[in-house]
Structure 1
């Protein structure tokens, strides 16, 4: 059993307010009329178990969650051959939240990596309130 709560009526966003993608996605989620929970990893400590569950839910390794192309990462860890184990990648994510490669949403049991703010729109259920249904002949 995982430690992250999963509810099909709840959208959970893991993001960093230290990068523009995170800021944009947070604005989309906050403005939606869907029940949501936003977790800004630059303000909230995400445990190693939670990071592992997020990576597993996405079918990725912890290293795949880190933007190794970011200049701050390259300055701290070099250009390549990082030689980090899982604990090392967890430290990178916890100490440098801006290095989270993409935001992650959880909707029900589905884990989704968002690479752009517009990606979020496709996961919103259409709101059909006020739309007239077409006339149907008998």
Structure 2
């Protein structure tokens, strides 16, 4: 059993407001009519257990969650032969939330990594609910 609550009727967004992708996705989620929870990792501490669960839910290693191409990451850790263990990757995410590679959405038991703001569109319900469909050929 994981420590992250999973509700099929709620979207949970893990993002960093320190990058433009996170800001855009947060705006999409906040403006949607779906029940949601947004977790800005630059303001809210995410535990190591939660990070491990997020990585596992995505089928990835902790290192895969970090944007090693970020200029500040390269300045701090170098560009070649980055030799960090899982504990080190957790410290990277904890100390530098802007290094989160992509935002993560949880809906029910499904974990998804969002690489662009438009990736979220598939989770937004159309505004035309209740409007009767008509056949244009009638």
Which residue in the other structure is 1:62 paired with? 62
Q: CA deviation digits over 1:17-38, x for unaligned, max 9?
A: 0000000000000000000000
Question: Residue 133 of structure 1: SS of its match in structure 2?
Answer: coil
- Once the two structures are superposed, the pairs formed by residues 39-58 of structure 1 within 5 Å of their partners are 39-58=39-58
Distance 2:116 2:27 in 1: 13
Give the TM-score of the pair, scaled to structure 1: 0.94
Give, in angstroms, the shift of residue 2 of structure 1.
Answer: 0.2
- Once the two structures are superposed, the pairs formed by residues 95-114 of structure 1 within 5 Å of their partners are 95-114=95-114
Distance 1:50 1:38 in 2: 14
Distance 2:67 2:53 in 1: 18
Distance 1:126 1:54 in 2: 28
Question: Residue 12 of structure 2: SS of its match in structure 1?
Answer: strand
Distance 2:131 2:36 in 1: 25
Distance 1:109 1:44 in 2: 22
Question: Residue 101 of structure 1: SS of its match in structure 2?
Answer: coil
Give the TM-score of the pair, scaled to structure 2: 0.94
Structure 2 gap ranges (5+): none
Question: Residue 120 of structure 1: SS of its match in structure 2?
Answer: helix
- Once the two structures are superposed, the pairs formed by residues 6-85 of structure 1 within 5 Å of their partners are 6-85=6-85
Question: Residue 80 of structure 2: SS of its match in structure 1?
Answer: coil
Aligned length: 135
Give, in angstroms, the shift of residue 126 of structure 1.
Answer: 3.3
Question: Residue 6 of structure 1: SS of its match in structure 2?
Answer: coil
CA RMSD of aligned residues (A): 1.1
Structure 1 gap ranges (5+): none
Give, in angstroms, the shift of residue 80 of structure 1.
Answer: 1.8
